[in-house]
Structure 1
Amino acid sequence: MKKIIIITCFIFINCKTNIDKEIVKISKDDFPKTEKISGEIILKEDYNRNYSIKVFENILLIRLSDSPNYYSVYNKYTFEYLGSIGVKGEAGNEWITMYDSGQLEKTESGICLWVHRYQKGFFAQVNITKTLATKKPIPIYEKIINIDAKSFPFFNLFYLEDNLNIIGNCWLTDQNQVRIKSYDINTKKIKKSELFPKIKNLEKLPIQVVKSLYSSGFKKHPTKNIFFQAMYMFDRIDIFDENLNLKKSIVGGENWKDNYYDAREINPASNFLEGKVNGYAGISASESYIIAVDVNKKKSNIDNTVKESYIKIFDWEGKPICRLKSTDDLFSISLDEKEGILYATDINNEKVLRYDINKIMEKW
């Protein structure tokens, strides 16, 4: 009996140790330094409403909100306008709706962007270089993959060429909400992760509400099959491998824990997220870093305008690297790690911004 108790205790301690290894608890005091950054306004002659920004190789790719086109492309050094990609419309070569997860790649034939349309199960690789060469916004496709969106509903998608897998997350129509899932292109086999952190009595809530509670940004490492989700309500960033295994969880505060919330206390008819949001908004992935904008910004007591935004930088092991503070209302961000330049959009004030953080990064 004594031997059984000892073995049981060993198993419990060992399991707890493994769980603890996955959890990286952080607070603002764990960052070696908080640095103030000041942005330069760029693309002053661009009068579109610029929603998100991505930097890759020698280009800036900007997704537009109020424009007949989906994307504008600029030279990142000169800010020269290079052309547009994607026409909004219903004709054969136009897109009614189109999204991307930020998966940009350099191929032998040029720079490519993966785009998707979740309503139709459409997933395609657009060659930006070839499209710009035509001087027309109609996209030139390198690959087109059709997915059964009924059996595999999705919102964000990433393509893994080495094993012909697709990694995605859930759409509102998905009745079996999970954190992330994979789709094997050849076998059509679907694999799913579990849903966490757990909420008590979650089954009592409509699936649309569950989707809101587990809302998160989702990014892939630029060159490796590693992914991270930065949650909106929960104060946690979770890092996964291509087999959907959880490798690390970067957490803070208390609401990241299982059963912190009880669904019986959530009224879907009210603003149930008010006072509960402690996570992240805009996110970006670079070769060495995870970059995330804290959703809770410092605001004016007079007009509620944002006075300070905070960016947290981690490495891919979850180690806190630096905390950046800006007076801009940051929304979308993208780090050019080699050049030491951070790009961002402030959509509320219609700004596209460039931050030279090269000297700050030298300390990292």
Structure 2
Amino acid sequence: MPRKFHPPLSVLLIILYSQINFGCSKKDESARKVVINNFPINMTLHGEPILLNEINSSQLYLVDTLLLVEQLELKQWNFNVYSIPELNFVGNLGRVGDGPKEWRKVRFSHQTEISDSGKVSLWVNDIRHARFQLVDLRSNLNKVEPNIFYDFKHPKELDLIQNLIYLDSNKWVGNLGPNSLDRGRFLVYNPISRTTNLIPFNLNVINEKMLTLDDYYDIYFSSLRVNKDKTKLISAMHRFDRIDIFDTSNLFKPILSIVGKKMSDNLDASKIKQDNSYLRIFYFDLFTSESYIYALYFDQPYYFYGNNLKSTEIRVFDWTGTPIAKFLIPEYLTSFTIDEKNGFIYGASYFQEKIMRYPFSLNE
């Protein structure tokens, strides 16, 4: 049931609010389950280093025919922008600052809108200023004050600092940051009525009272994306070997789960509190197209992250959950994006200080 959002007024309210939300972690049995056994295409991809001056980036985004490379130092601009596949520098996007048309720290969810005239705009979650904006891409390159089609503030107390997806004018979906008092799979927010609806976890949690708010954030964080017609929301979990797809038109009912062979529907909180090695990193980034789901896969103990720079994988599924391909990537990727038209995967290896490009095909 949607509820009116109110910022916390006292410690008592915080405790009460947390206790209410902790009771939501019940698994929904209605989702169809696909257990991954094998992939028809299973091969190693060998790529080439590109953009050799871009050694300090952890995020890549492909929008139309432009590659956006995040600038972590944030001196003047949020992104350097290159044409693909030529990789010519075409400009910068998102002036760094605290003005109404400047960004301090942003997140994209690979969500774009195409106008009748063919102009491509992208949705931007300005997490530092708690603003959600729709920005025309090409006309705003190198502009200090860009043209913004849609600009709406969201309450900082919700802590929507990660993926934020626009479904319609009164329905956004986002995953929650570490400072949120809510703990669920994701949050549905109505910016008109300022009401929220917390979608629960679809796992059975044993000894749940042992989990703190920080534990919930670490355990249940996921990458969110939406399909082209906005009818399906996909959530790939970082700490569990599972991807879940939800029906956006039916109260966000889970309709499909793609899980690894050893993935259990039960989580024992006592094991997490007693043994750090119980937690692993599985899905780390996500890209969706009209026909396919691409997921960056680690399968690495959490405490090895950033230290043991192992090979990674790009796993490909169709929207029915059928495994299509598994590409072994020799580099330790932290972000990737897909150019299906030209047959390239672009990947950022932040810890190895390089950006790679890999040719690929989904034809056997």
Q: TM-score, normalised by structure 2?
A: 0.82
1:80 alignment counterpart:
88
Change beyond 3 A, Cα 1:55–1:94: closer
Match status 1:24 vs 2:34: yes
Task: Please state if 1:168 is matched with 2:174.
Answer: yes
Find out whether 1:124 has 2:133 as its counterpart: yes
Q: RMSD of the alignment, in Å?
A: 2.7
Matched, 1:294 2:297: yes
Structure 2 vs 1, CA of residues 185 and 109 (structure 1 numbering), >3 Å: closer, same or farther?
farther
Which residue of the partner structure matches residue 355 of structure 1? 358
- Alpha-carbon distance between aligned partners in 2 of 1:310 and 1:348, rounded to the nearest angstrom: 16
Residue matched to 2:153: 146
Alpha-carbon distance, 1:48 to partner: 5.0
What's the CA shift string for 1:34-58, capped at 9, x where partnerless? Answer: 11111122223x3451221122321
How much does 1:246 deviate? 0.5
Instruction: Find the aligned partners of 2:354 and 2:284 in 1 and give their Cα distance.
Output: 17
Cα-to-partner distance string for 1:156-178 (whole Å, 9 max, x where unaligned)? 211123x6421112222332311
TM-score by length of 1: 0.82
- Residues in 1 aligned to 2:176 and 2:210: alpha-carbon distance in whole angstroms: 19
Q: What residue is the counterpart of 1:233 in the other structure?
A: 239
Distance 1:47 1:332, change over 3 A: closer
- Paired with 2:270 and 2:140, the residues of 1 have a C-alpha distance of 52
- 89, 97, 119: which is aligned to 1:110? 119
Q: Which residue of 2 is the match for residue 187 of structure 1?
A: 193
| The one of 56, 62, 65 aligned to 1:58 | 65
CA distance in 2, matches of 1:154, 1:347: 24
Please say which structure displays the higher CA radius of gyration. Answer: 1
8 A contact 1:342–1:356 mirrored in 2: yes
Aligned-partner Cα distance in 1 for 2:307–2:54: 25
Counterpart contact for 1:236–1:256, Cα < 8 Å: no
Relative to 1, partners in 2 of residues 1:33 and 1:233: Cα closer, same or farther, differing over 3 Å? same
**Higher RCO, Cα 8 Å, sep 6+:** 2
Query: In the alignment, is the contact (CA less than 8 A) between 2:281 and 2:300 conserved in 1?
Result: no
Q: Give ranges in structure 1 of 5+ residues lacking alignment.
A: 1-17
State the alpha-carbon separation in 2 of the partners of residues 187 and 304 from structure 1. 45
**Aligned pair in 2 of structure 1 residues 96, 202: CA closer, same or farther (>3 Å)?**
same
Question: What secondary structure sits across from 1:239 in the alignment?
Answer: strand
Uncovered stretches (5+) of structure 2, i.e. residues with no partner: 1-27
Contact 1:297 1:310 in 2 (8 A): no
Could you say which residue in structure 1 is the equivalent of 2:224?
218
Q: What letter is aligned with 1:251?
A: V
Give the partner amino acid of 1:362.
Answer: N
Q: Which residue of structure 2 lines up, in the alignment, with residue 8 of structure 1?
A: none
SS in 1 for 2:143: coil
- Equivalent residues of 1:50, 1:64 under 8 A apart: yes
Q: CA deviation at 1:92?
A: 5.3
Counting only pairs closer than 5 Å after superposition, residues 5-24 of structure 1 correspond to structure 2 as 19=29, 22-24=32-34
Q: What does 1:268-279 align with in structure 2 at a 5 Å threshold?
A: 273-279=276-282
Moved more, 315-324 or 337-346: 337-346
**1:37 and 1:117, CA in 2 relative to 1: closer, same or farther beyond 3 A?**
same
Residue from 202, 206, 220 that aligns with 1:200: 206
Report how far residue 217 of structure 1 moved. 1.5
Secondary structure at the residue paired with 1:266?
helix
Q: How far is 1:109 from its partner?
A: 7.0
For 1:345, what is the secondary structure of its paired residue? Answer: strand
Question: Are the structure 2 counterparts of residues 90 and 186 from structure 1 closer, same or farther at C-alpha, using a change threshold of 3 Å?
Answer: closer
- The code of the aligned residue for 1:344 comes to G
Provide the identity percentage.
26
Aligned-partner Cα distance in 2 for 1:192–1:125: 24
Amino acid at match of 2:51: L
Q: Aligned in 2, Cα 1:165/1:103: closer, same or farther, shift over 3 Å?
A: same
Equivalent residue, structure 2, for 1:3: none
Contact 1:83 1:136 in 2 (8 A): no
Q: Distance in 2 between matches of 1:310 and 1:297?
A: 11
